[in-house]
Structure formats: structure tokens, C-alpha cells
Amino acid sequence: MNVAMPDLTVDRVTVRFGGLVAVDDVSLHAPAGTITGLIGPNGAGKTTTFNACTGLVSASSGSVRLGEESLNHRGPATRASRGLGRTFQRMELFDSMTVKENVALGPESLFSSRHPWGQLFSPRRETRNIEERARAAMELCEIAELSRRIAGDLSTGQRRLVELARAVASPFRFLLLDEPSSGLDVHETERFGEILVAFVAETGMGILLVEHDMSLVSSVCSTIYVLDFGRLIFYGSTAETLASDVVQAAYLGSEGTGGDHAHVAGSAHA
């Protein structure tokens, strides 16, 4: 139904905080129309990689591209208006507003940046478009019955869905989801995964998913990238990743020396 959606390409990105190298020369490619997983133990640099993509932190080297367009040196709002959407690990909802208002404000924010006076008035055509998008997104995320509730009053699981719906409603061309299943129980996580798969199938959009929960990752992702100590230690299909010794070692820390990691990462790329 849509024009071709772009891929997201992260090319040799490094992020430093003071002396700490949080993300070290990470490259990944998340194609349109699929869900790509980004996993790794706590503190491996997953969220920082995300923030470098969306412009919340600035990478000290490397580049981020959406389709053919480079997003380097742009602020978060500009990257968003170019079509790169995201959700937050600690949900950033408009807590005093209703679910419907939350979801509608996603696309509305994006439209407001399209012309100089866009923040003041909304053309009727856009208003209808926003309403339609919000309605469809809430339906997709199965939160239509919550539309009049105040977002701040909802449970964690419901709030995750509201945040997803808000991102889905916006005319983004690629989505980054940061730990969307944290705080969800098993059933909610399953449902969340089904929604993601349906959404990608329908729109052809690509998603990059940072996730702890291996059950979600393994059920929705086609490719998985594994980070450890800020470096990419493995990538491959879901089955390959789950079977990989390197990944199990990363989680158990039993093998752990830097040299080994570097070696295995090299072979994974080769």
C-alpha cells in the first residue's frame, strides 16, 4: 500500500562518554519490511546505540543513514521529521492526556514541523488524516477501548501499547523500539509481538528492536545483532544467534576475555 520504505544503516558508529567508550565501532543494517533485533547483556550499549541513531547523543565517529539520506549532525526533532521514530525504555507518554490524545499528538507533532506556522493551525485535511491514523493505530494495538482513559492512570502494559500506537500513528518510515516488553507479563509480551508482526506486514516498514526478553526477540526478529561491552560480537539469523556459543558466553560471562570476543566477532563478520 505504501511507497518503498527505507532501510536503516548504522555505519561504524562510536560513542564516548568521558573516558568510557559506550559504543565501539558498531555497524548494523536493518532492512525495511523486517524486524531486526539488537540484544546483549545489561550495559552492553544497546540504548546508547539507539540514542546515537535518534540524535539524543552525538556519535564521535561513524554515520547513520535512513535509506540514502544521511542523518548525521541533526537534532532529534529533525531526524524524527525525516521519518525516524522511536519509543523509550522509560516510557515518555503525555501522562495528563487521554490515550486518544496521546496517540493523535504523535502524527500531529510531525505535521506541525512541515510548514512555518504549522504549530498554530492544522489544516482540515491534516486533522482528518491525524484522526484516521490515530484510530487505525489504536485498533492495530488493540487499545481502542482505552481511548478516553488518562494515560498516566494505565498499567505498564497498557502504557507500552499506547507508546507503540503513538509511534505507529505517526508517518514515520522506520521505527526504533527500546525494550518495549519490559514491565509486560508473558501474555502481554506475546500480544505485543503479534502486533509488531502485523504492523510490519501491513506497512512494509522496518523496525529495530532492543530487547531483553529472548522469547519476544526469537519470535519476531529475522536477524539479530548482539552487543557486548559496546562492541558487536555476533550477528546472524535468529536460529544462528540462539545456537551461537559466543552469545551464550556473553550471557554467562564464562569465556570472557576481550581477545576471544574480538576473534569471534571477526569470524562472524567474515
Closest separation in Å from C-beta 121 to other proteins: 6
Residue 14 is a binding residue for other proteins (CB under 8 A): no
What's the N-to-C CA distance of the chain in angstroms?
37
Q: According to CB under 8 A, which one of 69, 185, 194, 202 is a site residue for other proteins? A: 185
Instruction: Quote the CA–CA distance of 24 and 148 in Å, as a whole number.
Output: 45
Q: What is the dihedral of CA 187, 190, 191, 193, to 10 degrees?
A: 160
Task: Tell which positions 134-153 bind other proteins, by CB under 8 A.
Answer: 150, 152
Q: According to CB under 8 A, which one of 4, 198, 201, 252 is a site residue for other proteins? A: 252
Q: Which residues contact 63 (CB under 8 A, 6 or more apart)?
A: 11, 12, 13, 70, 72
Give the nearer residue to other proteins in terms of CB position, either 92 or 132.
92
Instruction: Quote the CA–CA distance of 168 and 165 in Å, as a whole number.
Output: 5
Q: According to CB under 8 A, which one of 145, 253, 267, 270 is a site residue for other proteins? A: 253
Task: Tell which positions 29-48 bind other proteins, by CB under 8 A.
Answer: 41-45
Residues 152-181 as x/- pattern, contact with other proteins by CB under 8 A: x---x---------xx--x--------x-x
Closest separation in Å from C-beta 158 to other proteins: 12
Q: Which residues contact 159 (CB under 8 A, 6 or more apart)?
A: 91, 93, 151
Closest separation in Å from C-beta 145 to other proteins: 18
Residue 54 is a binding residue for other proteins (CB under 8 A): yes
- Placement of cell 568510557 in the chain: 20
Q: Give the containing element (helix H, strand E) for 117.
A: none
For residue 7, the number of C-alpha atoms closer than 13 Å in the C-beta half-sphere is 10
Residue 247 is a binding residue for other proteins (CB under 8 A): yes
Residues 190-229 as x/- pattern, contact with other proteins by CB under 8 A: ----------------------xxxxx-xx---------x
Residues 63-102 as x/- pattern, contact with other proteins by CB under 8 A: ------------xxxx-xx---xx-xxxxxxxxxx---x-
Closest separation in Å from C-beta 180 to other proteins: 11
Closest separation in Å from C-beta 113 to other proteins: 5
Cell representation of residue 156: 505498564
**Residue pair 261/234 in contact by the 8 Å Cβ criterion:** no
SS3 for 250-269, per residue? HHHCCCCCHHHHHHHHHHHH
